[in-house]
Amino acid sequence: MKTTAPAAVALVVIGLACQEVGASLAYLLFDDVGPLGMVMLRLVFSAIVLLLIARPRLRGHGASAWRGVLWLGGVLALMNGLFYLALERLPLGITVTIEVLGPLVLSVVASRRRSAWLWAALALAGVIALGGGGWDRLDPIGVLFALGAAATWAFYILASARVGATFPKLDGLALAMVVGAIVSLPFGVVDAGGALLRPEILGIGAAVAILSSTIPYALELIALRRLPASAFAILMSLAPATAALAGFVLLGQHLAWLELAGIALVITASIGAVRATGRAARVVSEPVG
């Protein structure tokens, strides 16, 4: 069945909602497995699902292609680790808003238009507003973790493009997810300890992986067949809003009006920066949530 443009937009929005529900579930497990234990569970189950779906070929790839997989896998582990460490200390909406700055800065740097720097300034104003009138409300270590997640998301986009050019379909991502799972394994085991032996913990970990990775990937792949990549990137800029809504509804995280204004400014800046590139831009959603 052919997907219409409005239906494709709906699929992207549903994918965003699934990601933030997954992030909310992950947050609820922090007391049991810790943020790094949650990272391990997400990456391990995501790797299993992707391997079953993609069934990647291991032969026929050169050393450069495998270096790309290793690089992407390492970035995946670091990006998710920093995101969950930030989420442990900051509200979901603020964490995702700061993380979105990574792709936003990448869009500004890639653009050759002077107007792109206007969007950068608008994003800066949004980040300042996130303090809600006082940055002392935000955990400074959490902010640093979120900024680290933003930087690694930018690296993820570059690494993902490299792997996507050398591996067909989801093969490269599936292999990189395995690398990320292996990298996260010792940290996750130490953080989670005996909780990993509880079936309900493993079940929720699997649900987080499916909600945060499998469902969004599937919906976005369908949507991208109908939507231009630039329109898709603009839709992905709405992630901070969906994260703030999920944090409010599912986690009871209330935001001050200045913080909500900051999220709106970052969303506006992200949309403007994507449009300012003057070319199709693809923003990958995996780190959000």
217-233 pLDDT tens trace: 778 767 766 777 667 66
Highest mean pLDDT among 185-194, 207-216, 237-246: 185-194
Place 162 in a pLDDT band, splitting at 50, 70 and 90.
confident
Band of pLDDT at residue 288, cut at 50, 70 and 90: low
Q: Would you state the pLDDT for residue 158?
A: 83
Q: Work out the angle at residue 149's Cα, subtended by the Cα atoms of residues 143 and 150, and round it to the nearest 5 degrees.
A: 90
| Mean pLDDT across 98-116 | 74
Band of residue 282 on the pLDDT scale cut at 50, 70, 90:
very low
What mean pLDDT value characterizes the chain? Answer: 83
Q: Which of 202-206, 234-238, 285-289 has the highest mean pLDDT?
A: 202-206
Q: Looking at residue 284, what is its pLDDT?
A: 45
The pLDDT value recorded for residue 132 is 59
> Other C-beta atoms within 10 Å of 195: how many?
18
The predicted model gives 50-67 an average pLDDT of 88
| Res 133 pLDDT > 70 | no
The pLDDT-based confidence of 245 (bands split at 50, 70, 90) is confident
Give the helix ranges, DSSP H, for the chain.
5-28, 30-54, 63-87, 92-99, 101-110, 115-129, 140-166, 171-192, 199-209, 215-224, 229-236, 239-251, 257-276
Query: Residue 287: what pLDDT?
Result: 53
- List the single range of 24-38, 41-55, 94-108 with lowest mean pLDDT: 94-108
Q: Is the pLDDT of residue 286 over 80?
A: no
What pLDDT is stored for residue 225 in this prediction?
Answer: 67
Segment 95-99 mean pLDDT = 87
35's CB contacts (< 8 A; 6+ apart) are 81, 84, 85, 87, 88, 191
pLDDT band at 216 (very low <50, low <70, confident <90, very high): confident
